[in-house]
Structure 1
Amino acid sequence: MKPLRIATTAVLLGLTVLASTGCSVARQQQTVGAYVDDAGITTAIKARMAEDRTVAATSISVETLNGTVQLSGFAKSQAEKNQAEAIARNTRGVRDVRNSIVVRP
């Protein structure tokens, strides 16, 4: 009977902590909704890059936080870097793009 009581107390304590933090996610203090939106933006950008033959999608990392997209990795030309940024900027929900892609032939 005691293990059940300890488990119940742990669950209630966990729910109390979750409710008091406002459902923040990870260290960036995002709400669950913002996290899901950002994951959708990242997925959409990566999918569009994979469809574009001028962009090596596997060489470019995409991270999104509160609608701001961070691009990093390597491109073979300035044109590829510019195209990756254009894809990100023209994706629905994107507020800003920070392009840290390095051109390396």
Structure 2
Amino acid sequence: MSAVLAVMLALGQVAGCASSGGGGPVAQAIDDATITAGVRAAIERDPALKVSELEVETMQGVVQLSGFVGSADSVAAAASVARTVKGVKSVKNDLRLK
């Protein structure tokens, strides 16, 4: 968990520097990486969800969740958790039941 926070802090500092130059592809990629890290951290904090079984990708603020979970409730919970992360514009939920 501390490694995830360290990555988020490091990316957050870099994102702040990169976005001050007016944004662009590099700033967007850094912002997407920050969002991905935030979604992973939020999902990791939920004891019902297992990060190792989920893939999280972000493109221009749109988060895609894929992989397998044990219940329909987990499918809904993962999407709900992802939507709470700052910067997430929408969530594409491609999770499947085991």
Q: Which runs of 5+ in 2 are unaligned?
A: 1-23
Q: How far apart are 1:50 and its partner, in Å? A: 1.1
CA distance in structure 1 between the partners assigned to 2:40 and 2:92 by the alignment: 15
CA distance in structure 1 between the partners assigned to 2:50 and 2:72 by the alignment: 13
**Residue by residue, what CA displacement relative to the aligned partner does 1:47-91 show, whole Å, maximum 9, x if unpaired?**
111111011111010000000000000010011111110011111
Larger radius of gyration, structure 1 or 2?
A: 1
| Structure 1 stretches of 4+ moved >4 Å | none
RMSD of the alignment, in Å?
Answer: 1.0
Query: Which residue among 32, 40, 48 is the counterpart of 1:38?
Result: 32
**Residue by residue, what CA displacement relative to the aligned partner does 1:13-53 show, whole Å, maximum 9, x if unpaired?**
xxxxxxxxxxxxxxxxx700000000000000101111110
Which residue does 2:72 correspond to in 1?
A: 78
Q: SS at 2:43's partner residue?
A: helix
Name the count of aligned residue pairs: 75
Which residue does 1:62 correspond to in 2?
A: 56
Which residue does 2:95 correspond to in 1?
A: 101
Q: SS at 2:28's partner residue?
A: helix
State the identity as a percent: 35
Query: Which residue among 44, 47, 56 is the counterpart of 1:53?
Result: 47
Q: Partner letter of residue 59 of structure 1?
A: E
Which residue does 2:86 correspond to in 1?
A: 92
Q: Which runs of 5+ in 1 are unaligned?
A: 1-29
- The TM-score normalised by the length of structure 1 is 0.69
